[in-house]
Amino acid sequence: MTELFSQAWMQAYAEKWNQEPELADALNQIHFNSVIGYGFEDESEPRGVLTIVDGKVIEASAYNGQKLNWDLRADKDHWQQWVAKGLNMMGLSMAYMSRKLQFRVGDYLAMIKDPRMAGPFIKSFSVMGRV
């Protein structure tokens, strides 16, 4: 298995993201543009980054100082659990409230209140499981 959030993993994730209509197409409908960092809670910087334009990933890379719109962090065990099993709305709420999933950058409350964003966000976890 490729290391979580490595360059190769991020590129495979980007490919799966762009193939998933409930993610890429749904975000395209709201013209979602963002730079999302993924990493571990005990590290000062994220490891991997997706750059998204109109819902599609146009770049997947290692973090190199990019300005982030979202920076998602958790410990390695929780990331692996979510990759293996996905995450539903209840699990997401519990992970956020217990700080198992941290939003170091980004507005969780605004995102979760907008079903056009919340649905694809939840879907992104199941897509991680396809990598």
pLDDT of residue 17: 98
The answer to whether residue 1 is domain-embedded is no
The answer to whether residue 67 is domain-embedded is yes
Grade residue 2 by pLDDT with cuts at 50, 70 and 90.
Answer: low
To the nearest 10°, the Cα dihedral for 91, 112, 49, 57? 110
Using DSSP's 3-state secondary structure scheme, residue 27 falls into: helix
**% pLDDT > 70, the chain:** 98
The answer to whether residue 2 is domain-embedded is no
Using DSSP's 3-state secondary structure scheme, residue 55 falls into: coil
The answer to whether residue 120 is domain-embedded is yes
The answer to whether residue 95 is domain-embedded is yes
Question: How many C-alpha atoms does 1 have within 13 Å on its Cβ side?
Answer: 10
Number of structural domains the chain divides into: 1
Report the DSSP pairing between strands 70-74 and 102-105. antiparallel
pLDDT of residue 1: 52
Residues 30-50: pLDDT tens digits?
Answer: 999 999 999 999 999 999 999
Exposed e or buried b per residue across 41-57, where buried means at least 16 C-beta atoms within 10 angstroms of its C-beta:
beeeebbbbbbbeebbb
The answer to whether residue 116 is domain-embedded is yes
Residues 41-74: pLDDT tens digits?
Answer: 999 999 999 999 999 999 999 999 999 999 999 9
The answer to whether residue 14 is domain-embedded is yes
pTM of the model: 0.94
State the residue range of the domain holding 83. Answer: 7-128
The secondary structure of residue 66, as a DSSP letter, is P
- Supply the CATH number for residue 69's domain: 3.30.1050.10
The answer to whether residue 50 is domain-embedded is yes
